[in-house]
A and B are shown apart, each in its own frame.
Chain A
């Protein structure tokens, strides 16, 4: 290859990298503008919502909270108490003990006065069989609670068992270790009841990070910003993702994921599409994509709704090892889902779902770490070959860094002007500093985890969930 050909190839590469970065930044700007408009609109509408009526209404739709638990003995009793104290009339709680090897079941039996009960299960979705069986409380105070002990089959399998057992119209799937706010169900059921001509198939809310917050009796008492830079950075990342990204995608009806930590699904549609996929580690995203695909193929008007209210607080990894393992799993989940439903991508038949949402996820979520890695390698090669035009490189590096800081600040503004959860004095300056540090404290590790996730997906098929060591909400 002669020098001119190499130069042309290099030029093409430059255009690709530049074009990609430009498109990514442009998409963030567009999403931020849309999310700003949507947030203002939502705030206006919110002032007219009266949740009191739904609280006492006996005709409010029934909701089943399904919470899979695996070796959660440390906190399960406390967490179930939090789930049972929700302010909603028509709901019940199914705890699916998914083959735990610890004493979770025994602790639940003791704490809630449970006894084995006979129950006919309609196996609409195939699951692992029961182990010790189904338990209900002898104490009328816990009549909403059902505990199912089954053989281990993973989170998706446990959720499917809950779907089979639920008699409600809607199911709220939640991680048992999450702290659900008392008004979460009333808030998240609203989108389903509000639409008149469009069917809402799923709804999600904002997940917040509970580390360093004070919890008493399963209730959030005081909100604090953690000391760990890793956890703080995740708080900022969550704010950006939920208050900017998802808010905008919700407006565009382009949401492909409702967080597995807490989301409500239309049970009938979830069952019709076959329930949660047990062969993926990204079951929360996969089921939403499948439900959307089903509705598109049926040619029915539908929405995946999202509300920016903080509804559920979860513990974030506080060590880089666990954090990387979590993000590795998220990456594999995204790859699996997008690959499984590749038919949707760039397919006019699926409307904006196929032409906007799917391509966005593919290009800016799925491919981003790969493109970034190629870019880094390319940059190193250029350094070695002493071909770097430093005035270009440094300018664009500074530019992209400042853009990321601006987006973080916008997310902080959105939070301050809407929910203003971090009220304590001095937190503002910490958040500003965080927006400057976060690109160094978090991004390199996200990239590493994503590359590892790609590697594991293609070359380490045996890898499944990975461990998430929790300290527990009661000790937070």
Chain B
């Protein structure tokens, strides 16, 4: 038998610090006991949740596929479709079930197009799912708002644009990103108009996402990107430069030439790369004149441009940089010289080792 009286009197006789320690020990022991038991509950509920998810997913999937295939050519929903809508209206009211239905719909949305896609949109309206999305937009939590916008994007609800566009400059990046994706997914190049109002930088990740989205669509008729090339938001300029390259925007060459003297180094560097891609021979003289004021990265990029657009009259410039302090430029200059004047290139081998650049020595060794 546990002698509680003894334990109590021993405890009472302990110094204050030890008493305190034993209180903490008791609390920790209770915490451990609780955590150990609750871990079992968590693991069990996670397993259960997974099973339930699978069960409902299978059920909803078959119902929704039936819904899609029971439509006729008319714009109205059929009797079967209406009964499926009615049967799922109740499920939509339950959070966990709504999530599963949405997940199934997303998958279906990715697999179908045309009338079937419209049919899913009708389902989204008629089951009241759209109301939940709109309610999410009014929520104070950023991740709920972002989810709402995501839903409106996936179900292609163009009508919601006036509600969504107000989040273009939302303080949380995820909300902004969802807004931008909504615009571009639904309005393609016209959707890029958000760039005119963007006050925050557009991350490289988001730029990639937007470009990938644009490239998915059949309509590749790009709008005028000139205003974005002149934007005061540097990330917008960088994004526009990517557009210029991907969509071969020869008509903006003049604006690109202006960007060669932009204050931002990344913009200047990317402009050289875009001009290289667009055969911007006009850039050659400007860059040659300013060559010594350029950063090493810009100088390397310029030699990349020369490699593509070299002319015989560039030879003196190339020769001048055969002994540049940067190895990459030495190598590029050497390769360009080989292309435009093989005799002169061969003549370099006669130089003594001391007179040769590192690139010359290394090139000979291979």
Contact = CB atoms under 8 A, between A and B. Distances in A.
Q: 8 tightest A-B contacts by CB?
A: A196-B201, A118-B366, A193-B205, A402-B28, A53-B212, A193-B204, A395-B21, A428-B43
A120 B24 CA distance: 66
Interface of A: 44-45, 47-48, 50, 53-54, 56-57, 59-61, 118-122, 124, 190, 192-197, 391-392, 395-396, 398-399, 402-403, 405-406, 409-410, 412-413, 416-417, 420, 423, 425, 427-429, 431-432
A417 B42 contact: yes
B174 A193 contact: no
Contact of A120 (B14, B147, B331): B331
Contact of A409 (B15, B35, B201, B205): B35
A290 B29 CA distance: 43
A180 to B, nearest CB: 21
B178 interface: yes
B18 A391 contact: yes
A190 B18 contact: no
Contacts of B235: 196
Contacts of B204: 61, 192-194
A399 B24 contact: yes
Contacts of B39: 409, 412-413, 416, 428, 431-432
A116 to B, nearest CB: 11
Given A53-B208, A122-B331, A194-B204, 18 more contacts: A48-B143, A48-B174, A53-B209, A56-B212, A59-B208, A120-B366, A190-B205, A193-B203, A196-B203, A197-B201, A395-B22, A399-B21, A402-B28, A406-B31, A409-B39, A413-B42, A428-B39, A431-B39
Nearest to B363: A120
Contacts of A395: 18, 21-22, 25
B108 to A, nearest CB: 17
A58 to B, nearest CB: 9
A442 B325 CA distance: 54
Contact of A122 (B46, B146, B327, B366): B327
B36 interface: yes
Contact of A57 (B18, B212, B328): B212
B32 interface: yes
A417 B17 CA distance: 36
B213 interface: yes
B18 A409 contact: no
A119 B14 CA distance: 77
Interface residues of B, number: 49
Given A197-B201, A420-B46, A45 B209 contact: no
A402 B32 contact: yes
B362 A121 contact: yes
Contacts of B24: 399
B40 A428 contact: yes
B46 A60 contact: no
Nearest to B366: A118
B324 interface: no
25 contacts: A45-B143, A45-B174, A53-B208, A53-B209, A53-B213, A57-B208, A57-B212, A190-B205, A193-B205, A193-B208, A194-B173, A194-B205, A196-B201, A197-B201, A392-B17, A395-B22, A402-B32, A406-B32, A409-B36, A409-B39, A413-B42, A416-B43, A420-B46, A423-B47, A429-B40
B160 interface: no
Contacts, number: 109
Given A395-B21, A395-B22, A398-B25, A195 B203 contact: yes
B280 interface: no
A307 to B, nearest CB: 13
B315 to A, nearest CB: 22
Nearest to B328: A122
Contacts of A56: 212
Contacts of A417: 42
A432 B36 contact: yes
B232 to A, nearest CB: 15
Contacts of B304: none
B35 to A, nearest CB: 5
Given A196-B235, A391-B14, A59 B36 contact: no
B242 interface: yes
A60 B242 CA distance: 12
Contacts of A118: 366
Contacts of B209: 50, 53-54
Interface in B338-364: 359, 362-363
A89 to B, nearest CB: 11
A48 B21 contact: no
Contact of A194 (B31, B203, B242): B203
B177 A48 contact: yes
A196 B199 CA distance: 13
A209 B28 CA distance: 29
B104 to A, nearest CB: 17
A392 B150 CA distance: 58
A419 to B, nearest CB: 11
Contacts of A190: 205
A399 B25 contact: yes
B211 interface: yes
A230 to B, nearest CB: 23
Contact of A59 (B46, B177, B242): B242
A260 B43 CA distance: 32
Nearest to B242: A59
A416 B203 contact: no
A37 to B, nearest CB: 14
A416 B177 contact: no
B46 A416 contact: yes
Contacts of B208: 53-54, 57, 59-60, 193
A119 B366 CA distance: 7
Nearest to A396: B21
Nearest to A56: B212
Nearest to B213: A53
